[in-house]
């Protein structure tokens, strides 16, 4: 049965996030021939709308308002609920990002619908089945809705492939005006951390360092390797606690959950809390001087050796091939 789906697209630093394109692909599967409408909210973001057609959206609605310039739960919730009132979606799909995690339960309550969060795979059909990791990624469960909808689905970045970009696809971007009032909090200013580079939660390649890296300077060769591969640097909590790097890089149970194509774990032991954030990576390479380190149990490829020798060597070899 054809379903009407809304995708809540997300932009960061004036660029659409890749997970929004993945959400459109997920929505296409769920729509079963129905209409997929991408909704993009913000301030002065209309120019980004066109791209959503190129990744498969049938309609694109842009919602602009000064109170949407920076994300706040209240303002975005109000804006999206007004769009839902008009559009009556059967299903709403969005990324399992910090914004998605914050908004989705609130939207589900307001819609009086189920929430399927952190979905990594979908079996489409009249009653779709959603696969999601449980117990910190040690097992997966499958859930299905017992009612027709509406319901909300958040998808984990890097798990559902986006459709190939169709450069020629275009359409008319619709606008939807919203009334935002009685905000309990507003964002006065956003101060960005000067990390730059590839976004860790969406990176396809991650080079993560642990306490074995021994210092902030020790992370430089890891950054060089990540830059060469077009990836991002991550870290264990051990490395963050030791102040070798910022907590924004922490991967694990109490850090970011990542599923890159390639995860290179350098000088980290592979504690269960770290594995909770990366064990679903497609290919794991571990570099550790201790052959008994638990990280080797989840690694597809292991290099037993001193990271201060292995990482520069690996970078040199890869440079010879890639540059
Ligand atoms: P270590 O366990 O000390 O490992 C360092 C490794 O480096 C060793 O295996 C050693 O053999 C290797 N090494 C040393 N020198 C070299 C060298 N020269 N060359 C090669 N290898 C070398 N941890 C997280 O990572 N993420 C989390 O989100 C997280 N959440 C937690 C939540 C809770 C409630 C608790 C209790 C803990 C949490 N932890 C988390 C901490 C976790 O239990 C571990 O303490 C932490 O992951 C260890 O970090 P590490 O692997 O860098 O350090």
Percent of the chain with pLDDT over 90: 87
Tell me how crowded residue 256 is: count the other CB atoms within 10 A of its CB. 18
Looking from the CA of residue 272, the nearest atom of ligand 1 is 43
Tell me how crowded residue 309 is: count the other CB atoms within 10 A of its CB. 11
Percent of the chain with pLDDT over 70: 99
Q: Please list every protein residue whose CB sits less than 6 Å from any atom of ligand 1.
A: 210-212, 236-239, 250, 252-255, 267-269, 271, 273-274, 277, 288-290, 293, 306-308
Rounded to two decimals, the pTM is: 0.82
Note the pLDDT of residue 196.
Answer: 61
Average pLDDT over residues 240-269: 95
Q: By alpha-carbon position, which residue is closest to atom 28 of ligand 1?
A: 252
CA distance linking residue 171 with residue 277, whole number of Å: 39
CA distance linking residue 212 with residue 76, whole number of Å: 42
Q: With bands split at pLDDT 50, 70 and 90, how would you rate the model's confidence at 201?
A: confident
Note the pLDDT of residue 212.
Answer: 98
Q: With bands split at pLDDT 50, 70 and 90, how would you rate the model's confidence at 189?
A: confident
CA distance linking residue 173 with residue 186, whole number of Å: 28
Looking from the CA of residue 253, the nearest atom of ligand 1 is 28
Mutational test site, ligand 1, from 206, 210, 296, max ligand atoms within 8 Å of CB: 210
Rounded to the nearest whole angstrom, what is the distance from the C-alpha of residue 114 to the centroid of ligand 1? 37
Chain centre distance of CA 71 = 16
Is residue 9 classed exposed, middle or buried when 0-12, 13-18 and 19+ CB atoms within 10 A define those classes?
buried
């Amino acid at each position: 049965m054809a379903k009407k789906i809304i995708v809540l697209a997300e932009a960061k630093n004036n660029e659409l996030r890749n997970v929004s394109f993945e959400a459109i692909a997920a929505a296409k599967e769920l729509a079963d021939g129905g209409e997929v409408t991408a909704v993009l909210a913000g301030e002065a973001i209309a120019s980004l709308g066109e791209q959503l057609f190129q990744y498969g959206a049938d309609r694109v609605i842009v919602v602009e308002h000064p109170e949407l310039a920076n994300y706040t739960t209240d303002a975005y919730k109000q804006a999206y609920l007004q769009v839902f009132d008009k559009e009556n979606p059967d299903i709403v799909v969005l990324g399992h990002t910090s914004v998605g995690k914050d908004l989705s339960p609130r939207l589900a309550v307001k819609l009086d619908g189920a929430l399927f969060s952190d979905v990594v795979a979908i079996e489409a059909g009249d009653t779709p089945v959603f696969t999601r990791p449980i117990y910190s990624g040690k097992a997966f469960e499958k859930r299905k809705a017992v009612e027709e909808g509406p319901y909300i689905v958040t998808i984990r970045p890097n798990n559902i492939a986006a459709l190939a970009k169709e450069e020629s696809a275009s359409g008319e971007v619709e606008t939807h005006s919203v009334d935002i009032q009685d905000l309990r909090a507003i964002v006065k200013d956003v101060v960005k951390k000067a990390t730059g580079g590839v976004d860790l939660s969406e990176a396809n390649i991650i080079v993560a360092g642990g306490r074995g890296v021994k210092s902030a300077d020790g992370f430089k060769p890891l950054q060089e390797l990540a830059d060469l591969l077009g990836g991002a640097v991550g870290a264990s909590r051990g490395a963050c606690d030791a102040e070798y790097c910022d907590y924004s890089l922490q991967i694990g149970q109490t850090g970011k959950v990542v599923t890159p194509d390639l995860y290179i774990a350098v000088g980290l032991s592979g504690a269960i809390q770290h594995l909770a954030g990366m064990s679903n990576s497609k290919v794991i390479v571990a570099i550790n001087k201790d052959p008994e380190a638990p990280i080797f149990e989840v690694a597809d490829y292991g290099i037993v050796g001193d990271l201060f020798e292995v990482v520069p060597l690996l970078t040199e070899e890869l440079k010879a091939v890639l540059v």
